[in-house]
Amino acid sequence: MDAPAPASDANKPSLFELLSESQLRELLEPSLRYVLALATQRHPRYLIRILNRWDEAYALLMLLVERHYLSRWGGSFTENFYGLKRERATGIDVPRARQHAPDLVAGSAKLGRREVWRSLFVIVGVPYLKRKLDDAYEIHAGGAAANVLGANFAADEPSPDAPFKEKALFRLKALLRAVYPSLNAAYYFSILAFNLAFLFDRSHYHTPIDWLVGVRMRRLTAADHRAFEAAATPKRKRAGAAPFTAASLLSPTILSRIILPKLLDSLKVLLPTSIFFLKFLEWWHASDFARQLSAKTAASIELPPPVSIKPPPPPPADRDEAVFDDDEEDEAMAAVRRKLVAIPADSGLCAICTREITNPTAVQTGYVFCYPCVFRWVADGAQGAVEEDEDRKGRCPVTGVRLLGGTEGLRRLMI
């Protein structure tokens, strides 16, 4: 660690600012992955390869974005969103020089080319390696796979005549299973130690990796903003320079020096705002507030009372003397109606067995029967001791209407 920072150092950010910036950066990867997954469902032909290699694609994207921000603003775009920057750690820190000659001190501590690439390793390389190691441990060595399949699920040694590549891969998995948990714990404990030292002004660095690369976090000052404004001020056009045209806007020089930097600069507002919107939608769909608001809105809508729908009328009571019009029904349907049952006077009795209903079950026409009785009727056309009848099979015992789905359409009632 480094020498403690002076108590009057107003440019030193608080630990809570740094933790907020780190959390915002960690939200970028899952948010962009979620958006890409949704887009891949609509256009899998073009995006499935990017989704399958998401870690590499995200690392390349962030390498482009963060290199621009580190070179232009002195910090990553999430750090710039919080008004922070990165600077080289000098051998000595003179508060009076920072107070009386801020421009000179800011210029001497500005990130050089070497510090930019070191910062890119911290911002892009370390998270990429961490995700790859976590995935490898979960898939090949332990983690969730060990919880499901047992701790020794991958302990089977390769055969003696196995190829060298298989043996080397087995030993690498065994090494990862044995060493990675301890290394991971040591990594997080070192971060905690540096955070506490930074909180109590015992170190200029809040993470051990920043200490290793010699780059620390500071707040943006007025001198930094003046330097940004001077760099953003357009230079005067040379005499006789050609004006911008539609064709010149597509030239590589204009795209790389003017259009692309403007687009990258807009990310410091666009991406954090998008993340906030996505988290708001996640909270909205997961919270009780949305359900309560939807319930109140639905309760305020006046709906008309439901229309009473009566079940189809039963066939005539006197089936033997019933006269069927051949013009309306054929002989087959007339034969089916003669084999149906009548509705008993007591609604608590089953129309099939004429006994008290047990295990009540409703059919699609609205009538209720005993479950064993109506199941045998619909499945086989059987009624009590009467043998099976194909004419009654799959029909309502009272109306003779064909039931959709057969026995699958029976609904048992909980009374």
3-class secondary structure for the chain? CCCCCCCCCCCCCCHHHHHHHHHHHHHHHHHHHHHHHHHHHHCHHHHHHHHHCHHHHHHHHHHHHHHHHHHHHCCCHHHHHCCEEEEECCCCCCHHHHHHCHHHHHHHCCCCHHHHHHHHHHHHHHHHHHHHHHHHHHHHHCCHHHHHHCCCCCCCCCCCCCCHHHHHHHHHHHHHHHHHHHHHHHHHHHHHHHHHHHHCCCCCCCCHHHHHHCEEEEECCHHHHHHHHHHHCCCCCCCCCCCCCHHHHCCHHHHHHHHHHHHHHCHHHHHHHHHHHHHHHHHHHHCHHHHHHHHHHHHCCCCCCCCCCCCCCCCCCCCCCCCCCCCCCCHHHHHHHHCCCCCCCCCCECCCCCCECCCEEECCCCCEEEHHHHHHHHHHCCECCECCCCCCCCECCCCCCECCCHHHHCEECCC
* Mean pLDDT along residues 346-367: 87
Whole-number pLDDT of residue 321: 46
Whole-number pLDDT of residue 128: 93
Whole-number pLDDT of residue 100: 55
pTM to 2 decimal places: 0.56
pLDDT at 166 over 60: yes
Whole-number pLDDT of residue 327: 47
| pLDDT tens-place string over residues 117-140 | 999 999 999 999 999 888 888 877
pLDDT at 94 over 80: no
pLDDT at 323 over 50: no
| pLDDT tens-place string over residues 362-387 | 998 888 888 888 888 888 777 665 56
* Mean pLDDT along residues 258-277: 67
Whole-number pLDDT of residue 191: 93
Whole-number pLDDT of residue 187: 92
